[in-house]
Structure 1
Amino acid sequence: MKVWLPPYRVELEVHGATFGDFVEGPGDEALFSERMAETFREEGLTGLLGFHPVEVSRVRAKRKRPKSGSVPRYFVVSPCFGRGAVDEARSHLRHTKPMTCAECRYRGLDSIHGFSLEPGTWQGEDVFRPRGLQGTIIVSERFARFVTRHAFTNTKLTPTEEYVWDPGQP
């Protein structure tokens, strides 16, 4: 993926009556509302890079117009590439190719039906991309409690053992 460079401009697509605190962004980035970004930093959570302000150039409402007239400020963040590595023996992954790089552990992936990390590889980041599943954002239990405690919106967290990604199935 190409890196998103400044100026950071977005068009938001709103699917409900409120703006979300978390917005999946282009490429490997995500958007955090100002409230979520400030609270993340205040609580000392780790694993996100950037926190650059974003200019919202347009808002499109898909279902209802948002109740709030003002668009919240957003910041672009990038989850770091962590040292945590997918445990091939304890995970349920289907591959199309053999592993070619022991560091990134990339290989063709057909589907995921739950996974876990190798013991001793995770270094405690609260948000990161693991080795072996670089396209997937992993969060710690501490981050999950953070989201619940502050009632941040537009986030759906799934335990790794229940995570399913299978583009071949409807």
Structure 2
Amino acid sequence: MASDLPPDPRFFILEDDVWGPYDTKFSKLEPASRGDPPPCPKCGKTIGMLMWLPPYRAELELHGQGLGDFVGGPGNEVLISERMKEAFQAEGLVGLLGFHPVEVVRVRRKGRGPKVDTMPCYFVATARFGHGAVDEARSRLQRNKPVTCSECRNTGVDAIHGFTLESGTWRGEDVFRPRGLQGDIVVSERFAEFIKRHGFTNMKLIPTEEYVWDPLQKKNPNGLSDP
């Protein structure tokens, strides 16, 4: 008998589209002001990097043919274009915080392509630390330390060969950093459709169950096969 329960929602890892036609990176112009990293509300352990504080001044590095709507860089912050910011807010999506204007001091082109004549308008945003938690039993992770805090579940990770979230832990955010993998940005299926509908650039979406991150080539953490 088929289950009457609705299927689990789909989630995606959000990355910038390296080597894509709108490959763009940003760096914070020094000297930059920084604040304390965010702590876990339960154990107090650091769950992120130093916060970028105003004034927000950045330098863009363009590897593609045009500047992207989404720009990654150091720290927890990302830059998004004005048109993406306006559409995100107008459609009532949730999970990105801040939206502070950034002064783009210069654009450095890497490789061939058209010259950038005008400085774009970008905003700095951060992905919310969400309530959605990694399902350890159904995920293929290799952690270098055991999980000790039931809230943040924050430990070092040596390899990821696909993961999923615990049913019932997600609270509707469209963009968030999940408990247990706070270094990654996860997005909802609604956000994936939002990107496609508007044609926003320099964003790559990978289904979480297919996501592989294995810099040490550990391969098949926990002895499980790749999805």
Matching residue within 204, 213, 225 for 1:156: 204
**Could you tell me which residue of structure 2 aligns to residue 88 of structure 1?**
136
Matches within 5 A, 1:12-161: 12-66=60-114, 69-161=117-209
- Tell me, yes or no, if the aligned pair for 2:95 and 2:174 is still in contact at 8 Å: yes
Q: Which runs of 5+ in 1 are unaligned?
A: none
In structure 1, what residue type is equivalent to 2:144?
T
How far, CA to CA, are the matches of 1:65 and 1:12 in structure 2? Answer: 15
Q: Which runs of 5+ in 2 are unaligned?
A: 1-48, 219-227
Identical-residue share of aligned pairs (%): 68
**Per-residue Cα deviation, 1:63-112 (whole angstroms, up to 9, x for no partner):** 12445522220000000000000000110001111112111001221100
Instruction: Give the drift of 1:169.
Output: 3.0
How many residues align? The count is 170
Hey, which bits of structure 1, 4+ residues long, moved more than 3 A? Answer: 65-68
Normalised to the residue count of structure 1, the TM-score between the two structures is: 0.96
How far, CA to CA, are the matches of 1:116 and 1:145 in structure 2? Answer: 20
How far, CA to CA, are the matches of 2:87 and 2:117 in structure 1? Answer: 23
CA RMSD of aligned residues (A): 1.3
Normalised to the residue count of structure 2, the TM-score between the two structures is: 0.73
**Could you tell me which residue of structure 1 aligns to residue 5 of structure 2?**
none
